Amino acid sequence: MQLSIIGTGYVGLVTGTCFAEVGHQVICVDNDANKVKMLQAGGIPIYEPGLEDLVQKNVAAGRLKFTSSTAEGVQNSDVVFIAVPTPPQVDGSVDLSYIERVARDIAAALTSYKIIVDKSTVPVKTGEKVAETIKRYCTSKVEFDVVSNPEFLREGFAVGDLMKPDRVVVGVASPRPAAAMREVYAPFNAPIIVTDINSAELIKHAANSFLALKISYINAIANVCEAAGANVQEVANGIGLDERIGRRFLNAGIGFGGSCFPKDLSAFIKIAEQIGYDFKLLKEVQRINADQMERFVKKITDTLWVLKDKKIGVLGLAFKQNTDDVRSSPAIDLCLRLAKDGAALRVYDPKAMEKARPLLPNATFVADMNAVAEGCDALVIATEWDEFKQIDLARAKKIMTAPIFFDGRNLFDPAEMEKLGWIYKSVGR
């Protein structure tokens, strides 16, 4: 099929590339001319495992093209996907100005029937507003359908999530676009749920809010474990084997972050409020998440006493492993809190260093994780990169002023660390 993707961020670029990989002809549209030039040359502006090779392969094969012209994308496709940002506003609601602007651009370019697909994460009723906007500004008065097709991609695992989805949700206002959407996703061999647009839009917010709830739940359990002398990992294993619960998203730590969970949680609370429901449960999820960072910072300050002029090494800056995304990163938040209290920071991340530099102008960025500990009064793990498990602990202990280790992601075994002579603090153990 002929497809266009408007927006080449994490969602749009991965979606367009994977659609091309299974044989569709794809035009990706972005209003950033420099980004378009980079993509046309086979480069990508983000780190996502496996994505760069797929972009280069499909550009070379002629299945994947990039342009800065929305009209070109719309007029040369059967299905137009909107994948532009939906950032949070101060009150927690969603800024839909990018969606509205794209809807108007699409309206101006329509000359024949098209299926317009909301891929961005949007509040319920957005599909109706997109349809109204296109109808209002489309001078050619051609027919079109608006569809909701929420994404369920995890940064760091997005290519695999799209190539092998556990489900595809398609929200329609009429039966007409359903067959075409089934054709788009047929190569992926996934269950396709066809529902009304409002339900499809709620599914994404409900899913992300539930996962955030699960993380806050295990963090609350971790606090109980610390008070009771129990081990949160053992508790998580015990409850996670119940197939009704599952083990995923039951890893205690310093809280969730990133561009999705905090934003979607706030948006869902605001959406519920606007239609008359006070979602107190999700407000508590937010409170627990904020409290988790406070508790971890308190562990550090209780141990080191005075942070002023202390040198602290921090491993991890991205909000999670396998990405260079530092948006709403708990690791960055932690660094800022430590720096505010006077600590000097030495930091390292496998992929997120460049994006973190503007956020931490006074930190020392170190090119080797094994050199981060040099001269430090404490070492902190803030992101769960697997490679951090391979840090040379003997070397770190030798080059530090004191062998103090704060593990915000529970990557090491407490008994083993104690045996090696470390003062070791983790979460819920």
Residues recognised as catalytic: 260
| Main-chain phi, psi angles of 263, to 5 degrees | -65, -45
What is the CA 157 to chain-centroid distance, rounded?
10
H-helix segments, 164-196 = 178-185
Phi-psi sector, 25: left (phi>0), alpha (psi -120 to 50), beta: beta
Q: Is the dihedral of CA 39, 29, 54, 368 positive or negative?
A: positive
Contacts of 420 (CB under 8 A, 6+ apart): 393, 394, 397
141: left (phi over 0), alpha (psi -120 to 50) or beta: left
Q: How far apart are CA 121 and CA 427, in angstroms?
A: 32
Nearest to 124 by CA among 150, 97, 101: 150
SS3 360: coil
H-assigned helices in 62-196: 70-75, 97-109, 126-137, 158-163, 178-185
Cβ pair 225, 195 in contact under 8 A: no
Q: Tell me the C-alpha distance between 300 and 100, whole Å.
A: 46
* E strand or H helix at 275: none
Helix boundaries (H) for 309-365: 330-340, 353-356
Cα dihedral: 23, 29, 35, 36 (round 10): 70
Backbone angles phi and psi of 179, in degrees to 5:
-65, -45
Radius of gyration of the chain (CA): 23
Q: DSSP letters of 209-234?
A: HHHHHHHHHHHHHHHHHHHHT--HHH
Answer for the pair 150, 195: CB distance below 8 angstroms, yes or no. no
- Cα separation, 313 vs 374, whole angstroms: 8
Strands 144-148 and 79-82: unpaired
Q: Which uninterrupted H or E stretch holds 263?
A: helix 261-274
